[in-house]
Amino acid sequence: MAYVALYRKFRPHNFRDMVGQEHITKTLKNQIKNSRVAHAYLFSGGRGSGKTTTAKILARAVNCLNPIDGEPCNECEICKQALEGSLIDISEIDAASNNGVDNIRDIREEVEFIPTSGKYRVYIIDEVHMLSTGAFNALLKTLEEPPKHVIFILATTEPQKLPVTILSRCQRFDFKRISIDDIIKRLKIICTESNIEIEDGALKIIAKMSDGAMRDAISILERCVADGSEKISEEQIRELVGIPEIDYLLGITKDILSGEAAKVLQDSENLINSGKDLDVFTWELIKFIRDLLMLQISDNLVVYKDEDKAKMQALVSNCTKERLLELITEISLLQNSMKWATDKEVIFETGLIRITMNGSLENKTANVKQNASQNVASNTSAAVAANASEKVLSEDDKNKEEVLTLLKENHKMIMHTILKNAEIKKVDEDLVHIIFSKTLDDVNKQYMQKDDSKIVIKEMVKKVFDKEMKIKYVF
């Protein structure tokens, strides 16, 4: 089969062919039918979610000579020119490469002229958040009093980077990530129309890999077709997309979960020696543990080989969802502190060991508590059980454990993780010191000092000590 540019061929030309964004296309169609189009739109959403495609359809629909039910006819002279890209009333600007004030000034001068053949001059500005401050100011002047015959469609993956003054002048539409089912449906149509035979399992992998972006899904499909195969199997896709090698992730996760600090130290040394980028690795580890968690919840993890999946399953069979969640939070915090660290390797290594040891301490505590309650249950004197805990935990440690339990019960996981590495010391009848770890970074320090956080801590401490306590943070 010859190579076909599937993405271009199957780019929707009508609102009705857009996938997964009905909440947007319906509104736009109504506006066109009722001649109530706005002068400035903001399309925000992830890559491949259909922002530019929708903008192009809208640009044609407002100019089409025979619009049908709010859709462009795609057959009249104007639609044809627009589809060819030769209609000068529709301009597409990539703000990533044209981000200067001059580019926008050109537009400001241009907008004064009436459209040449259509009803509207439409400016589609892609990745608009990349504009310089000067360019934003120039654009704002135009948006403040746009001529009647001008429509701006601003598209961005990062709306939070836009000045409020711009946001407030636009009608905003948020594009959703496209669901796996919707992507599969669309891929099926494309395959049928292009005579591509494909296994359902393969479609599922493509849809999953594309992460809600139709463009990515189609480009993976395109790569398979370019391979020259007419029938695409699940196996082929796995090879093509490069299913992750997970042995090293499995190894280190196993050692962390079983609390083997010495092995984790060896693992991280091996990693550092292998020259792997530690930021990348930390991110992979977080994603991997997230996948382990997903595996506990559902079996729908298609990106792994069956044998790897079995190994993952074996790994998580002895481990709670809570522990996995906690690991994700802890490693995310570690990732944060690595970001600003001058000595990444040290932070990485000590961080992983701390996380490992925390887990094993918690296991021991849990075991002691469990033994204690079993003892009570089996009618052994409660004093024996109490002694058992006493041996392992000091008064301060017990208080800390209780605070941690309360934080967990109240889903304050960030505070939980931070306090886990802190000491809680009762220094006086009504005074508690919280001594934070030396490795606590500024972001977390600020987080703990927020009024909201302080209120939570105060409340938890009050519950544990049964009375109002003064709290002093020691950094």
Binding residues for Zn ion, rule: CB under 5 A, are 64, 72-73, 76, 79
In sequence order, what DSSP letters do the residues of 122-150 get, joined into one string?
Answer: EEEEETGGGS-HHHHHHHHHHHHS--TTE
Name the nearest CA neighbour of 453 among 401, 415, 406: 415
Structure token digits, residue 91: 């301009």
Q: Which is nearer to Zn ion, 76 or 265 (CB)?
A: 76
Calculate the dihedral angle through the C-alpha atoms of 330, 332, 334, 338, rounding to the nearest 10 degrees: 180
Q: Which is nearer to Zn ion, 78 or 202 (CB)?
A: 78
Closest approach, Cβ 155 to Zn ion, in A, equals 22
Closest approach, Cβ 83 to Zn ion, in A, equals 9
Closest approach, Cβ 88 to Zn ion, in A, equals 16
The single residue listed with the structure tokens 């809600």 is 212
Closest approach, Cβ 11 to Zn ion, in A, equals 17
Q: Which is nearer to Zn ion, 18 or 464 (CB)?
A: 18
Q: Which is nearer to Zn ion, 78 or 424 (CB)?
A: 78
Closest approach, Cβ 190 to Zn ion, in A, equals 24
Closest approach, Cβ 22 to Zn ion, in A, equals 22
Instruction: Please return the burial class of 433, using the count of CB atoms within 10 Å of its CB with bins 0-12, 13-18 and 19+.
Output: middle
CA separation for the pair 374, 366 (Å, rounded): 12
Distances (CA, A) of 146 to 31, 121, 383: 18, 11, 81
Q: Which is nearer to Zn ion, 64 or 154 (CB)?
A: 64
Q: Which is nearer to Zn ion, 62 or 218 (CB)?
A: 62
Name the nearest CA neighbour of 440 among 415, 405, 472, 409: 415
- DSSP three-state, residue 161: helix
Q: Which is nearer to Zn ion, 33 or 263 (CB)?
A: 33
The single residue listed with the structure tokens 């091996």 is 270
Closest approach, Cβ 68 to Zn ion, in A, equals 9
Residue 71 carries which DSSP code? B
